Chain A
Amino acid sequence: DVKVTQSSRYLVKRTGEKVFLECVQDMDHENMFWYRQDPGLGLRLIYFSYDVKMKEKGDIPEGYSVSREKKERFSLILESASTNQTSMYLCASRQGWGTEAFFGQGTRLTVV
């Protein structure tokens, strides 16, 4: 059974904290994604990685950075969390163009 695993389902952090969201996939996929999901806005792409150590900015990269040191792991970093980063964060992986994206169950992050 294919799997994308996010390290936490729920997370509460304080404003100004550095936050790490971890994602691991077991499908040997080339591509990994971090999306943010907010009501009425669907899924907005934060960052996309197409290979180890390779990344590309999505639509809303401000305030976020990413790391992909190993093929199976893609980390999202909030350098200094702010209340407007309270959201649901979804990680996904896929092999290539036209293929299915597999998602983790999401991390609901609350910044207080």
Chain B
Amino acid sequence: DQQVKQNSPSLSVQEGRISILNCDYTNSMFDYFLWYKKYPAEGPTFLISISSIKDKNEDGRFTVFLNKSAKHLSLHIVPSQPGDSAVYFCAAIGPFNYQLIWGAGTKLIIKP
């Protein structure tokens, strides 16, 4: 049972445009959400997070939106740059603090 779902395996966006990566979750007990970026043959690196008490968090070109009623969050990258091409993982902190529940990832391709 996938508690965190990233339904788009890949996404292609023109350089300079907005990239929107989506993530859905099923467990209403999740109280913290994180986005990670991963290049091939490297470990994931933390990008941005959001607490369940907020609906938006912004850091430079990255903004994460949380819709608790829909159990949905999204990562917006504006403007998209070639270096943003990577796999993006959504993760949630589970009911027990040691749990990190991961989505399957979305491969973002930025076209020049």
User: Do the two shown chains form a genuine complex with each other?
Assistant: no
Q: Interface residues, chain B, CB within 8 Å of chain A? A: none
